[in-house]
Structure formats: structure tokens, C-alpha cells
């Protein structure tokens, strides 16, 4: 079997060793005579998986005791609603920085719940950059400031987080665990797993415990963070297999040397692909401004539609998967999450150089 060069934006590449381990124990988990999917979520075997995922994430991200880790379902899209339902009080204003499609969607859901304010935006430039910290203008009575740490569609990423005197909430779906961050700086972080953490079907929420006291009563039980916090995310049946895969991916990150090592590798991988862009004299035109470039999603266009099609067709033939850009920006996108190996980036860069030499 030849592994594809998987540049999918999510669901995306998983570490081969993780898949091999999942395969090896799929029929008989730890000599139980059952698949991990067949275990009761109240069994001691599943409990160990569940808690190991939680503890490993705490260790890897240096999550302080002030914060808790919750496992939910519904993806970041459900968090767009849950964040304001839980944290946006009456007379308060939810502040949003718009840096792309996902921030817009988050804002749209918050508007259904209460008052909102756009604290900064790069929409006028088709989201080619991340607003500067000094350009963030907060409203009065801020409930929280919401940012999208990495923008998959436009290929931009916050490299320094705003140091604001209000609760900072971040959608980190596409760059959680890709670099060292100070979790203590955030009131709440959420992330769908399907980019850096595992398969789709589980959403991680890291929440500062005191926020739980702000939650209004009478929310639907499954939409109240306290339900997950008070039950160790076991109020109802969790997505057990997705959490098992998450635990394996986290174990892999630990074995690889932790987030610091992964971050260095991600910088190396991104440098290789951006170099192919920068060496092309504008043949490959990056969507993002240089200082806002994402280490996770490299977005670029070719001189015309015909060349783009040719590029994508040749790439596909060579075993590169997922390189078509999102329809909002067109062109191409290479998503190079944690599990995408260095060799895949080298192969892509080599192909880009070659294609450039032939068609520029």
C-alpha cells in the first residue's frame, strides 16, 4: 500500500502509527474480547481511555488547574452557539474579530443570542491578514472577545494573541496542539478534533472553571458546559471511538517529543512549502500577507484557471490529495497539520518547483 500525500483541510491525515495501532486492537481491545467501540462508556476499560485523553491533553498543553477539559459533540459549529448561550449575559456584548468565514459564522450565531460587536476585521481585504493588536477596539460591557486562531480557508494565523483585559475565547479547531501557547491567557478554547487531534466526531473545550458560574439556568442540558464539567463529559454516551483515537493521537504527540518538537517540525514543513511559493516570482501567488501566514494551511493561486486545473490534475496523478482551494478563495491549499509528514511537504515543494519550471 502506498500512503497518499494527504493535504486535506479536515478530516485530514492521521499518524500512520496511530492507525496501525487502532487496526491491531480493533477486534480485541486490551484482551477484553471486544472492540473499543463495543465497550460500555461506564466500564473501567473505557474510563481509562477517556481519562488518559484528558490527562494527556492537560500535560501536552500545560493546562493549568484553573481550567477543565471537556469532550463534546457537534463540532466548532455548535460551539458558535454554545459560547454565547453560556457566556453572553444580558446587557453584555460579545466582541468578535473577523478573520474569515468561520469567524463570520461564529458572529452570526452569537447575534441570535444577544448583543454583538465587531472589534476588528480584515474582511475589506478579503481576509488576507490578521488585524494588528492595536486595531482591536472593544465595546463597553464586553462578555468576551472571540478570535479564530487559524483560518483554514484564507490561510492566515494569529502569531501573537491579543492581551486584552477581557475574557478571550478562541476557536482553535485548525491549529490546536500545533504550537506552544499559554492556555492561561484564554477563558475558553474550543476545537473540533478532525485536524490536529483525531477523527471528526469529538470537540474539545478547555474552559476556565470560574466561567461556569456565569452560565444562566435553564439552558438545554446538553448545551450547558456544566453538564460536561460535572460529569467528566460522561453525562450521556460520549463518542467513545473518537475519544479513543484522540487519546492515541495525543500519545503519539508525547512520543514524538511533545508540542515543542511538533511546533519546530511544523515550522520546517511550512517553510519548505512557502519557499516553493516565494521562489516562483509570483507564479504561485500566496493569498495571505507574509506576516499573517498560517503554518497549517498554505493558500495560493496560479496565474490562471487553466494552469490551476492542470496543477491540480497533475498533483492528483502523483498522489497528492486535497490541494484544491476552498471556493471562497479559489486556487490551491495545502493543509499541513501535525500528522502530515515532512516528506509529504518536500514532495509537494519538489512538484511545485518542477511545475513552475515547466509552465512559468
Closer by beta carbon to its own copies, 39 or else 204? 39
Residue 208 and residue 29: Cα distance in Å, rounded? 34
The one among 100, 131, 162, 201 contacting its own copies by CB under 8 A:
201
Q: How far is the CB of 59 from its own copies (least distance, A)?
A: 24
Q: Exactly one of 30, 182, 221, 231 binds its own copies (CB under 8 A); which one?
A: 221
Q: Is 218 annotated as a binding residue?
A: no
The binder of its own copies chosen from 131, 239, 325, 331 (CB under 8 A): 239
Q: Which of 209, 230, 236, 261 binds its own copies (CB under 8 A)?
A: 236
Catalytic (active site) residue 195: yes
Catalytic residue among 195, 224, 252, 269: 195
Tell me whether residue 66 is annotated as binding. Answer: no
Q: Is residue 230 near its own copies by the rule CB under 8 A?
A: no
Neighbour tally for 249: CB within 10 Å:
23
Residue 102 annotated among the catalytic residues of the structure: yes
Please tell me the distance from the alpha carbon of residue 119 to that of residue 138, in angstroms, as a whole number: 5
Catalytic residue among 58, 68, 158, 171, which? 171
Residue 139 among known ligand-binding residues: no
State yes or no: 42 annotated in a binding site.
yes
Going residue by residue from 60 to 79, which x/- string records binding to its own copies, judged by CB under 8 A?
-------------xxxxxx-
The reply on whether position 112 binds its own copies by CB under 8 A is yes
Check whether 158 is labelled as a binding-site residue: no
**Exactly one of 102, 175, 252, 269 is catalytic; which is it?**
102
Dist CA 323 CA 155 (whole Å): 13
Q: Beta 203-208 vs 188-192: how paired, if at all?
A: antiparallel
How many CB atoms lie under 10 A from the CB of residue 301?
A: 18
Residue 165: which of 191, 189, 129, 141 has the closest Cα?
141
- In this chain, which of 52, 81, 101, 128 binds its own copies, going by CB under 8 A? 81
Q: Is 194 in the site for its own copies (CB under 8 A)?
A: yes
Q: Is position 152 annotated in a ligand binding site?
A: yes
CB of 110 to its own copies, least distance (A): 10
Return the bridge partners of 204, or none.
71, 191
Distance, in Å, from the CA atom of 320 to the CA atom of 313, rounded to the nearest integer, reads 10
Residue 242 binding its own copies, by CB under 8 A: yes
- Residue 99 is labelled as binding a ligand: no
Which residues within the stretch 36-65 sit at the binding site for its own copies (CB under 8 A)?
37-41, 43
Binding residues for pyridoxal 5'-phosphate, as ranges, are 76-77, 102, 152, 171, 194, 236-237
Residues at the site binding its own copies, with contacts judged by CB under 8 A: 1-4, 6, 8-14, 16, 19-20, 22-23, 26-28, 32-35, 37-41, 43, 73-78, 80-81, 85, 105, 108-109, 112-113, 192, 194, 199-202, 218-223, 235-242, 245, 319, 321-322
Q: Which residues are annotated as a binding site for L-glutamate?
A: 42
By annotation, the residues acting in catalysis are 102, 171, 195
Amino acid at each position: 500500500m502506498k500512503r497518499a500525500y494527504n493535504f486535506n483541510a479536515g478530516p485530514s491525515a492521521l499518524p500512520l502509527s496511530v492507525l496501525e495501532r487502532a487496526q491491531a486492537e480493533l477486534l480485541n481491545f486490551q484482551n477484553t474480547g471486544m472492540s473499543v467501540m463495543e465497550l460500555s462508556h461506564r466500564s473501567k476499560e473505557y474510563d481509562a481511555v477517556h481519562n488518559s485523553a484528558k490527562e494527556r491533553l492537560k500535560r501536552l498543553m500545560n493546562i493549568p488547574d484553573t481550567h477543565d477539559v471537556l469532550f463534546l459533540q457537534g463540532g466548532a459549529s455548535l460551539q458558535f452557539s454554545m459560547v454565547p448561550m453560556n457566556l453572553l449575559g444580558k446587557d453584555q456584548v460579545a466582541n468578535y474579530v473577523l478573520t474569515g468565514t468561520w469567524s463570520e459564522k461564529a458572529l452570526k450565531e452569537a447575534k441570535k443570542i444577544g448583543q454583538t460587536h465587531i472589534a476588528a476585521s480584515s474582511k475589506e481585504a478579503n481576509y488576507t491578514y490578521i488585524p494588528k493588536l492595536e486595531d482591536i477596539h472593544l465595546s463597553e460591557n464586553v462578555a468576551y472577545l472571540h478570535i479564530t486562531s487559524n483560518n483554514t480557508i484564507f490561510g492566515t494565523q494569529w502569531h501573537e494573541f491579543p492581551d486584552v483585559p477581557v475574557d478571550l475565547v478562541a476557536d482553535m479547531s485548525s491549529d490546536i496542539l500545533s504550537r506552544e501557547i499559554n492556555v492561561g491567557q484564554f477563558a475558553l478554547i474550543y476545537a473540533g478534533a478532525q485536524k490536529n487531534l483525531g477523527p471528526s466526531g469529538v470537540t474539545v473545550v478547555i474552559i476556565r472553571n470560574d466561567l461556569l458560574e456565569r452560565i444562566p439556568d435553564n439552558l438545554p442540558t446538553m448545551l450547558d458546559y456544566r453538564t460536561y464539567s460535572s460529569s467528566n463529559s460522561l453525562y450521556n454516551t460520549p463518542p467513545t471511538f473518537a475519544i479513543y483515537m484522540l487519546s492515541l493521537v495525543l500519545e503519539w504527540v508525547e512520543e514524538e517529543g511533545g508540542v515543542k518538537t511538533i511546533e519546530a517540525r511544523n515550522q520546517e514543513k511550512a517553510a519548505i512549502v512557502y519557499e516553493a511559493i516565494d521562489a516562483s516570482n509570483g507564479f504561485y501567488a500566496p493569498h495571505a500577507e507574509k506576516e499573517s501566514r498560517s503554518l497549517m494551511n498554505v493558500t495560493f493561486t496560479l496565474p490562471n484557471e487553466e494552469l490551476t486545473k492542470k496543477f491540480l490534475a497533475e498533483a492528483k496523478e502523483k498522489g497528492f490529495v486535497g490541494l484544491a482551494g476552498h471556493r471562497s478563495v479559489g486556487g490551491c491549499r495545502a493543509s499541513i497539520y501535525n500528522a502530515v509528514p515532512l516528506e509529504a511537504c518536500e514532495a509537494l515543494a519538489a512538484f511545485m518547483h518542477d511545475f513552475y519550471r515547466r509552465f512559468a
